[in-house]
Structure 1
């Protein structure tokens, strides 16, 4: 048992070291983890790592998609709904078709059904990769909103293409009108199940006498229930998780207490970080087994096919994004659109940000070894190798070069949003003004005699009347003095804790309050 656990503990330690290094050199950690896993897999004597596709689909995928959906802005998703849905569904279908045609023409023994199977596997950009890499670069808000929204939804359409292609390979037949009807049904009922399960959890949180611990456990259970319920009826588990996550996220302040939101945010942050790190490391570690299973195909030929399919995916995606921009410019004469002139800069950035990841690998690994008639599944090992090559190249090449592409394109933000600091200052002033109005309207008499309320009023007036000069050097000095004061209070708590009559639980409570106060100060002035 110990021999089994030690390698995985080692993997976790390596993940932490590589993520720290990625933060130090300012690159996205998925890139560092995939490359690190690839290099580690080449070390002699390393135990062979095998990834169970069911493990990825059931254990990893639901919480990662749920977390991405929870962090997604519904306002931005709705604003760019036409662009996002066209990329999430139409572009995935078109990309699968292009990959099918190219692989059928170039790769010996590849039928159109196998080509569609490969296209369904490699066509969707990865939501986890996109979110992680976009955090390390500065792009206009509309671009990041489209990329993240598209990446959330395209997994479902690609897995549906994969499912139908797998059926066609197994049976040798494909009925287009039936597949099209099933495609719509799988999407619509997947979304419906996600919303219904989300509604169930909404009322569980709201009606049951839960505390923050129970709320967090329910939040962790929700994506698994959504995914498994939808998949049990053969509908889209991915869309169930995404729609359910969006539904609950938009209503979180109406059914979760402040303590549950704080704890839930911390737990999800650590949990999704751990799952992300583990899955990207496992992608790199999977290389030896994939190469070993190539069989009759030479490694040189397999690499060539992988490079070709990667190039096809990149070029096809960029062409479709630029084409969509031109079509939007044309159609905006007749239909009102969120942006009537997208230009070429934004579509080029979004087209280049097409990193593949966990969903593609899981789909490829889930291909059965044998067909229903007992014969070996054709080209299975080559499909696995091409998928791995696509993931590696898109993550490393596109992930590392995306900042340079953004700088080269030099796209100005057309929405002219204020900086985060300016928006934070405006929010603080608005909240202070609202609070002062409330106190003076509802507690005017108490303000005349209650010293604590008078101190609160003075603090709110300070927030309201901050000048631009005061938000600079004076605030930095205030922040540093305040943080040193909090450290001094922590030392005082440690001294109090040495007294035998002091309850350590009370000390820890106040240590927690100091931590919250420090976080408030850092958020306010950083």
Structure 2
């Protein structure tokens, strides 16, 4: 490892340059990184890269899931909970079933259990790839919210399928009632463990004498501890991390200081930026290791199998998406749904086409043991690995490069909310300023006449600038302003809870501004 240290340093430089190039030419960086890793792997003298599955599952996956849980809107997840859960569980199962049936029928020596194993590996779309692509194209908030919510849960459902299929292959039997009990524990146990440990960390942040640096380190430890605890209890580590992350994210203003929140955002963005870059580069670099063990079938035949499975995944996801829309339209006659409008043909197609595969699929494939418990080699292991790589490569390149084209071609109406985002944000600031002025006049009316700085603050709020003269602020005004900032946060939290049509990202944007205002008080 140490002998190859200069190579890994150079790899980081290449990753940074490629990501800058991807931003320049407006291409999702996972596509460039996988292709670059593939090209580098053919250079003579390049060290042979072997990805350990534990490296992905225990080093990369927990923080990436945790960071995603912090950025997603719980309100939007709850609003679209039915369609999100159908995508994360039903659509993933349909995709896995389709792959199982096709591979069992067309691939020699592939049992149905092996088919489900392959299906569990390649069924979950990769959230990082979709997120990177959506940076360069605008889609309605509904679509992005559904994709974000799905990405938090589909890894868990696919890994559950993968585990059951592994047991069926190894034991050559499948006992339904045991599987049902295990399935229930993996879900409910994972949720419970995630919420419990998340609650304990929340109390630690709140009651221990922490500062911003300690808070950030604790936040970095949290996803790993949650994941390991859940896995040791044989429940779903993915669900545990997601639930713990959602709990802490939605209570962040109760136990973290403004300084911890501001610095934590910067640390986590940089940390996940490096992790995402490394993991997609490693996917491309791992190809020689994968093809090296491909002996059962020819490389051409294996590529053909990979192409077939890719087509099956794309078609089954698109058909499942339209089926989910039909079910929703029928269900609106009997229950209340988040949006009863007919989405037409455009939105379901984009949701279906956004199915790029990535790191979780490769890690799951690599985690297949070389030998069974009886000493025999694991059947079709190398072929499954190669098919997985082909699926990742084709979905990233084909769907990733064409998704922006389809989004622009279908000509979505982006501002489908009650108010455009900037107008809604300005309206929110106006209401917040009015609330602040009313609070000052009610609770600090005696200070207004004698404090010129407070008078200046009131005048500027009346103009909706929300800025103050930092040089003239005094100690008394600092205390008043800090109290007012806390009241504004509470008002925003209630506003977000009561107004279900308001985009939560607008609330978070204003919350971030209040944190900056509070930090400014420390230096004046």
User: Which category describes the TM-score, using the shorter chain as reference length?
Assistant: 0.7 to 0.9
* Deviation of the 1:414 alpha carbon: 7.8
| Residue 441 of structure 1: aligned partner | 442
Deviation at 1:2, TM superposition (A): 4.7
Write out per-residue CA displacement over residues 262-285 of structure 1, whole angstroms, 9 at most, x where no aligned residue: 111111010011101110111111
Asked if the contact 1:428/1:464 (under 8 Å) is kept, the reply is: no
Give the CA deviation at 1:339.
2.2
What is the aligned partner in structure 2 of residue 205 from structure 1?
A: 205
**Partner residue, 1:290:** 290
CA contact (8 A) 1:79 1:338 kept: yes
1:29-428 alignment, distance < 5 Å: 29-340=29-340, 341-413=342-414, 415-428=416-429
**Distance in 2 separating the partners of 1:132 and 1:267:** 19
Q: Deviations over 1:201-256 (max 9, x none)?
A: 01101111111111101101110011000000110000000010001000000000
**Whole-angstrom distance in 2 between the partners of 1:442 and 1:177:** 63
Please give the alpha-carbon distance, in whole angstroms, between the structure 2 residues aligned to 1:215 and 1:22: 33
d(CA) in 2 for partners of 1:421, 1:7? 46
Output the CA distance in 1 between the equivalents of 2:517 and 2:204: 31
Is residue 41–residue 285 contact of structure 2 (8 Å, CA) maintained in 1? yes
Structure 2: 5+ residue stretches without partners: 468-513, 519-524
Farther off after superposition, 19-28 or 88-97: 88-97
Per the TM alignment, residue 64 of structure 1 is displaced from its structure 2 partner at its CA by 0.2
| Native 8 Å contact 1:53 1:366 kept in 2 | yes
Is the CA contact (8 Å cut-off) linking 1:325 and 1:344 kept in structure 2? no
* Partners of 1:130 and 1:151 within 8 A in 2: no
Structure 1 residue 402: Cα displacement: 0.8
Q: How far apart in 2 are the matches of 1:288 and 1:392?
A: 14
TM-score by length of 1: 0.87
Give 1:131 deviation, angstroms.
2.3
**In 2: Cα distance, 1:198 partner to 1:2 partner:** 36
SS of equivalent to 1:408: helix
* Contact 1:41 1:285 (8 Å CA) reproduced: yes
Taking the aligned partners of 2:405 and 2:184, their CA distance within structure 1 comes to: 39
| Secondary structure at 1:146 match in 2 | helix
What's the counterpart of residue 508 of structure 2? none
Which deviations, in whole Å up to 9, do the C-alpha atoms of 1:56-78 show, x marking residues without a partner? 10000000000001101000000
- Which residue does the alignment assign to 1:494? none
Are the equivalent residues in 1 in contact too, given 2:33–2:277 (CA < 8 A)?
yes
In the TM superposition, structure 1's runs of 4+ consecutive aligned residues that sit over 6 Å from their partners are 516-520
Displacement after TM superposition at 1:465 (Å): 11
Cα displacement string for residues 110-139 of structure 1 (whole angstroms, at most 9, x for unaligned residues): 111110000000001112222222222211
Residue 439 of structure 1 and its aligned partner are, at CA, apart by 2.1
Offset, 1:143: 0.7
* Cα deviation, residue 183, structure 1: 1.3
- The TM-score normalised by the length of structure 2 is 0.87
- Contact 2:296 2:383 (C-alpha < 8 Å) held by counterparts: no
* TM-superposed deviation, 1:349: 0.6
* Residues 81 and 444 of structure 1, relative CA distance in 2, 3 Å threshold: same
- The 1-side partners of 2:157 and 2:348 are apart by 21
CA contact (8 A) 1:37 1:283 kept: yes
Give the Cα separation in 1 of the matches to 2:304 and 2:418.
45
Q: Shift of residue 80 of structure 1?
A: 0.6
Give the distance between the partners of 1:455 and 1:58, measured in 2 at CA: 53
The SS at the match of 1:368 is coil
How far the C-alpha of 1:445 sits from its partner, in A, is 2.9
Contact 1:67 1:245 in 2 (8 A): yes
Structure 1 residue 421, shift from structure 2 partner = 2.2
2:258–2:515 CA contact under 8 A, matched in 1? no
Residues 38-73 of structure 1 deviation map (CA, whole Å, 9 limit, x = unaligned)? 122122221111111001100000000000011010
Structure 1 window deviating more from structure 2 (228-237 vs 26-35): it is 26-35
| In 2, Cα distance between equivalents of 1:188 and 1:67 | 22
Q: What's the offset of the Cα at 1:410? A: 2.2
The alpha carbon displacement at 1:415 in A equals: 3.8
Most deviating of 293-302 and 250-259? 293-302
Asked if the contact 1:113/1:169 (under 8 Å) is kept, the reply is yes
Task: Give 1:453-468 correspondences, 5 Å limit.
Answer: 453-463=454-464
User: SS at 2:357's partner residue?
Assistant: coil
Q: CA deviation at 1:355?
A: 1.0
Provide Cα deviations, 1:471-525, integer angstroms capped at 9, x if missing partner.
xxxxxxxxxxxxxxxxxxxxxxxxxxxxxxxxxxxxxxxxxxxxx99999xxxxx
**Contact 2:259/2:515 (8 A) holds in 1:** no
Of 418-427 and 193-202, the range deviating more from structure 2: 418-427
Residues 133 and 404 in structure 2, CA contact (< 8 A), matched pair in contact too: no
The secondary structure found in structure 1 opposite 2:161 is: helix
Cα offset for 1:464? 6.3
Per-residue CA deviation, residues 71-120 of structure 1 (Å, 9 max, x unaligned), is: 01000000010111111111111211110110011111111111000000
